[in-house]
Amino acid sequence: MSDFFKLDRLVMQFGGLTAVSNFSIEIQPGELVGLIGPNGAGKTTVFNMITGFYAPTTGRVIWQGEDITGLKVHRITAKGIARTFQNIRLFTDMTVLENVMVSLHHRLRSHFWEAMLGLPRYLKEDRRMIQDARTFLEDLNLVHLTDEKAGALAYGQQRRLEIARALATHPKLLLLDEPAAGMNPQETRELAKLVQDLRSRYALTIFLIEHDMKFVMGLCERIKVLDYGVTIAEGTPAEIQKNPEVIKAYLGEPKHA
């Protein structure tokens, strides 16, 4: 059993509502795993528990052998877990480059006063950061938009900028929350290729939520299915597609009929 990344019986309750019930999974380095399920199934809540946005009611998040359950968001980011959001969260009035720079900034070693005084170490780090940020933008096919305001970008470009920002924190595990939402079929196909390329270029492990079944089935090696907070299936895309419980959940048949 590996302790690279393990969710052990996670439970999240909001008042009387159990949003996620006994969610467990192990993901190996380099794997690309999908999390699917109808609206409100608890998928984003799982991501929120991994990344410190919610402290689980019970259960554990194990990352590289360490119990990181309930740590603060910035500490989890610093340990190499990054995410994107279902509702895009960019600094819309800042440029594309500045958005990536903000993510890189936590790695900057020089002090605030060095920056204020424009001391050499700061200036050197600043130049290096701009170069690094441009590299991420090149990887996400956004470098031609470097000086545009993030808010002026097309939807698909904003989604890619979110991924660039996540990569700028130098993660080992990348969580993507509906990366293809709002994209047209052509953009979605390009995104699938991009995700594969990024996985190998940055040696990433990827866990993603997505409603676009073609995208998930074509990209993920393994898929987990949630319905009303409960895991109803886990398997390869081929297994999931013919699983009767999954078909029932997606066709919206009354659960207790």
Ligand X SMILES: Nc1ncnc2c1ncn2[C@@H]1O[C@H](COP(=O)(O)OP(=O)(O)OP(=O)(O)O)[C@@H](O)[C@H]1O
Residue closer to ligand X, measured from CB, 20 or 27: 20
Positions that interact with ligand X (CB under 6 A): 14, 17, 19, 37, 39-45, 86
Residues 6 or more apart in contact with residue 111 via CB below 8 angstroms? none
Residue closer to ligand X, measured from CB, 43 or 83: 43
Residue closer to ligand X, measured from CB, 130 or 181: 181
C-beta of 66: minimal distance to ligand X in Å? 25
C-beta of 172: minimal distance to ligand X in Å? 23
C-beta of 173: minimal distance to ligand X in Å? 18
C-beta of 23: minimal distance to ligand X in Å? 11
Beta strand residue intervals within the chain, DSSP E? 5-14, 17-27, 32-36, 58-63, 66-67, 81-83, 173-177, 205-209, 222-227, 230-235
Residue closer to ligand X, measured from CB, 24 or 196: 24
Residue 55 · residue 72 · CB < 8 Å: no
What number of H helices and E strands is found in the chain?
10, 10
Sign of the torsion angle spanned by Cα atoms 86, 91, 95, 97: negative
